[in-house]
Each structure stands twice: as C-alpha cells, then as structure tokens.
C-alpha cells in the first residue's frame, strides 16, 4: 500500500447509536462546552469504574468517550493514539464480560483502526483483519448496527482488493447503513461517491442533499465541521462538471 487513505476515512465515519447516557449526548446534540466537556465525562466514567464493578455498558461508554476525546479534542498525535488504545482496551474488556455486546465489538474495531492510522502501516494487514472481525461480529449480533455497517462499507470501499476491498460489497454495506439509520451522514457521502463513479448522478445528488439538509445528524460536531462542507463540495462538482 502506498498510503493509509483506507483508514483516513474512518476517523469520522462513526456515527454511534449506543445512546445510553450524557457521555454520548454529542451523538445527536452537542452538550454545552463540547468537546472540552469530554474531559469531565472521562473523569466521571473512570471514577465510576473505580468505585464499583465494571459493567459492559459502562466500559462501552468509556471506549466511546476515549474515541471522541482523541477525535475532537486532543491535538498531539501521541496523546490521541494513547486515547484510542485506551478506548480499544475498554471495549475489549466490555465484550470479554458480555460477548453479545455489539457496540463493544464496534468500538474496539474503530479505536484500534484509528490508533493504527496514527502509527503508520507496519501492522496494517493484521489490524484490518481484527477490525473486520469485530465489525462483522457486531453486524452478526445486530444486523441493523448502522455504525458497523458503515465501517465495513468504508473498509470495503477504500482497501485494496488484496485486503478485501470490494466496491460492490461496499455499496451493499453503505446502503444497509443508510436504511438502518440515515442520520449517519458519512455513509451517504461515501455511497454518493460510488454512485458518481457509476454515473448515477441523480442518486448521488439525492444522498448529498440529505447530508446537507439533515435535521438531526449524528456526530453533529463532525457534521458541522466536515461532512456538510464535504457534501456541498461534491454536490457542486456534480452540478458543475
């Protein structure tokens, strides 16, 4: 592989549907002070884990918070990687306690992949294998798991064929993700790019307009700063070739 573009798409392709408490509120509406508020969320979760028996749901929230911290607040790559790895570890602890927790498998995959992206491609093949295993397990447990479907779509779209890249499968995963929850707008952008490549311009435009005019996009912080602008640029390219 010449680069790690196949993982770059993952950093914000992550709408997460856990929705189990204030620490995950930024999925739909950014809480006051976000993303700085993530530090207080993290300390609160760590204190709760120290005070009582670790529960899978609490560990998933911790993993999600570490991911958000690395994605939206931290700027030093070493600290970001540490946070992603801590998130991967928390998610692994969660599915070791409850193997049927689909969100735990998903967060392990996405934290692990994001950490590897920052380090480089030395172990890319091994990491991709683990990411796909966890994402597929999440889908097996919950066929409507939009985030895991989106992740598999992104991997299938961006990876070279030798690592499992397949645009037909990518489209299937992304369309399933949108059908499960269309508020994960990154999936719409990715499938619009596939439609564009296939000459299905009207369908691509429909997906991009849905991104731009989304009322309640998951990961609003990312939507406001990246996804909406990305959709607007691609839409302009399609309308003014």
CA quadruple 213, 217, 220, 222: dihedral sign: negative
Q: How far apart are CA 192 and CA 206, in angstroms?
A: 8
The 8-class DSSP code of residue 100 comes to T
Question: Which positions ≥6 away from 149 have C-beta within 8 Å?
Answer: 139, 173, 174, 176, 177, 180, 187
What crossing angle do the helices spanning 146-158 and 102-119 adopt, rounded to 10°?
Answer: 30
CATH code of the domain in which 99 resides: 1.25.40.920
Structure tokens, 43? 């300390």
Q: How far, in Å, CA of 74 to CA of 53, rounded?
A: 29
- Kindly tell me the burial class for residue 47, based on how many C-beta atoms sit within 10 Å of its own C-beta (0-12, 13-18, 19 or more): exposed
Give the orientation angle of helix 201-212 with respect to helix 185-197, to 10 degrees.
160
Q: Which two tokens stand for residue 120?
A: 């480089």
Domains of the chain: total: 1
pLDDT of residue 32: 85
Give the predicted TM-score (pTM) of the model: 0.87
Which tokens sit at 114? 């994001």
According to the model, what pLDDT value does residue 120 have? 67
DSSP string, 182-240: TT-HHHHHHHHHHHHHTT-HHHHHHHHHHHHT-SS-SSHHHIIIIIHHHHHHHHHHHH-
Per-residue pLDDT of the chain (241 residues; tens, 9 = 90+): 333 344 444 433 333 323 223 334 345 667 889 999 999 999 999 999 999 889 999 999 999 999 999 999 999 999 999 999 999 999 999 999 999 999 999 999 999 999 988 886 556 678 889 999 999 999 999 999 999 999 999 999 988 888 788 999 999 999 999 999 999 999 999 999 999 999 999 999 999 999 999 999 998 899 999 999 999 999 999 999 8
- How many Cβ atoms sit within 10 Å of the Cβ of residue 213? 10
Can you tell me the distance from the alpha carbon of 202 to that of 193, in angstroms, rounded to the nearest whole number?
Answer: 12
Per-residue pLDDT at 9 = 42
Domain extent, residue 53, equals: 5-239
């Amino acid at each position: 592989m010449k680069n790690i573009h196949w993982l770059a798409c993952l950093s914000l392709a992550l709408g997460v549907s856990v929705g189990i408490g204030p620490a995950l509120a930024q999925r739909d509406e950014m809480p006051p002070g976000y993303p700085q508020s993530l530090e207080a969320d993290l300390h609160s979760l760590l204190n709760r884990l120290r005070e009582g028996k670790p529960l899978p749901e609490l560990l998933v929230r911790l993993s999600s918070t570490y991911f958000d911290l690395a994605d939206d607040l931290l700027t030093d790559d070493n600290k970001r990687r540490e946070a992603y790895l801590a998130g991967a570890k928390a998610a692994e602890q969660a599915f070791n306690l409850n193997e049927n927790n689909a969100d735990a498998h998903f967060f392990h995959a996405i934290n692990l992949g994001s950490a590897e992206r920052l380090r480089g491609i030395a172990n890319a093949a091994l990491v991709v294998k683990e990411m796909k295993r966890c994402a597929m397990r999440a889908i097996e447990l919950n066929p409507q798991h939009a985030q895991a479907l989106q992740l598999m779509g992104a991997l299938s779209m961006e990876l070279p064929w030798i690592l499992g890249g397949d645009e037909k499968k990518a489209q299937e995963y992304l369309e399933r993700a949108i059908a499960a929850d269309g508020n994960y707008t990154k999936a719409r952008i990715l499938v619009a790019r596939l439609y564009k490549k296939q000459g299905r311009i009207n369908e691509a435009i429909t997906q991009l307009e849905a991104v731009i005019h989304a009322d309640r996009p998951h990961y609003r912080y990312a939507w406001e700063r990246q996804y909406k602008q990305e959709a607007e640029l691609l839409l302009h390219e399609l309308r003014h070739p």
